[in-house]
Structure 1
């Protein structure tokens, strides 16, 4: 999965439109962001010269190997990144990638549902070993800085970056109310998921509004709740990470409920979050991701969900800005 504050938060001062949006039959995620700069990389995903490991599984901490399970915290209400199908099974981009990574590491990835803005604290409390939930890799998160107050609130986390996405605005279909950019939201009401990039952007833009026309912001525990509020007419617009907004536009009401407006902004990498001090696990996950990229399994999964243009070509650690 918002990009959420735990993406789904990018630096609120950086609001630049990037790329044109297209949704035609399948979702097309605009090619955004430069995945060649910043962060550290592993040149060979199947061998580490410093450790002598011959496979990603060799890099795993022994206690995780013994248990055979990696617990993954995730807000499982963010289709198509992670959600439950009609049978109650956890499906989506992240679960599919988790299954592929688990094969490389010789363990099972078990996704556990949690409210998005509590996932990082769950890592600190060791409820999970990883958080994988469309979470944007940012310097603030890496350093444990609150994105709004800029105060230190925790130890921070490390990220293994695995996808790139921007943020989109959507409205009721046929009723965009002249909304094309974030500044057009001044004097209007937006529904968003709490703790996401969309939430932070709305707060940052509202401060820029003039003439007393601030943005009225309603925040919810899940993105699906925010969509329901917009669908019922309780808000003028909604905002989510592009894959999520595009999926809602395509599927809600058979494609009759919503429409995308304007362009994506805040293109940034999604990262698998790992608590600081777990360097061995971080390197193992990075090596496993590089392995499935090299084998082509990664591309198959991304193509399955129609978001090929958000794919990365190598795993990076802390590549976000």
Structure 2
């Protein structure tokens, strides 16, 4: 489940250049909204406040509940997705598990479409949103990136990864697409509410007279890939690690290919309501702790995305 103001602004749910080395196999199973899945640490219950060094940093309500409710689009491999057994796996669930050990709580992943996650956060359906979400100024300030109008209270981000956006096409059918400007006059599939969509809309305004980018937006990235695979579009766009994973796994590596360079990178952030500063600061401390103790690097290496790693947990570092 991704602008320097185009996601912000241009940064884009960026991703990592090293993800091409992802050695993860398995098909993705999509689940309906409202499905709840606990990360490994949640299932084992191994994290307890008695052994967790940072438990006291949590708000009392969360500490007493023993659970952090996570809104996530669990169809965005390798960041978060379902494995063949139906278990939620990926970079985000692994990081959540490690942070849970520091805080003495379980991170419970609840599936939802990407463009509804911040709304769910505002309504307190979730405590946090962790879903390869690009930290942008618009999201921090609650501004609609398309209209430039304020649509609600913004969120704070704890930045934990860096990535960029890529374009991919059917394998052997690139139609000379190498840059975003080459998409003018073409059909593009992508996931709704992402930096890819923001970038495509911005680029479409630059197309010469008589041409535009025909944008087909879907609830999740898997639907977009299915459309492209069926011949309903010329290209697709998503965060680089996701695009690289699709290229590697779809059709045994025979369906897609990445074209051109990924757009400049931007941070992924864990989104927290601005009113919940204590939870935000506790999560920042937990992330810094696993960076310091080496667990973070082990997780990033496990998924082959070392180029996107960060050295410290920053608050609202997106532009």
What residue number does 2:84 align with?
86
Secondary structure in structure 2 of the residue aligned to 1:201? helix
Where does 1:78-227 land on structure 2 (aligned, <5 Å)?
78-227=76-225
Could you tell me how far apart the structure 1 residues matched to 2:123 and 2:293 are?
A: 34
Retained in 2: the 8 A contact 1:75–1:113? yes
The verdict on how the C-alpha distance between 1:282 and 1:196 changes in structure 2, with shifts beyond 3 A counting, is same
Alignment of 1:38-117 (within 5 A): 55-117=53-115
Q: Distance in 2 between matches of 1:266 and 1:198?
A: 12
Alpha-carbon distance, 1:151 to partner: 0.7
Partner Cα distance (2:178, 2:267) in 1: 24
- TM-score for both structures, normalised by structure 1: 0.86
- Assess if the C-alpha contact under 8 Å between 1:21 and 1:263 holds in 2: no
Query: What secondary structure, in the 3-state scheme, does the structure 2 residue paired with 1:208 have?
Result: coil
CA distance in 1, matches of 2:221, 2:5: 11
Measured against aligned partners, the alpha-carbon deviations of 1:23-75 in whole angstroms (never above 9, x if no partner) come to 75537xxxxxxxxxxxxxxxxxxxxxxxxxx9422210011111100000000
**Secondary structure at 1:313 match in 2:** coil
Counterpart of 2:316 in structure 1 is 318
Taking only aligned residues, the RMSD between alpha carbons, in angstroms, comes to 2.1
Q: What is the TM-score normalised by the length of structure 2? A: 0.87
The CA distance in 1 between the partners of 2:199 and 2:11, in whole Å, is 8
CA contact (8 A) 2:167 2:260 kept: yes
Cα distance in 2 for partners of 1:24, 1:220 equals 24
Say if 1:87 and 1:9 are closer, same or farther in 2 by CA, change over 3 A.
farther
Look up the match of 1:41.
Answer: none
> Number of residue pairs matched?
290
2:2 alignment partner in structure 1: 2
Structure 1 residue 26 corresponds to structure 2 residue 8? no
Q: Which 5+ residue runs of structure 2 have no aligned equivalent?
A: 24-51
- 1:260 maps to 258
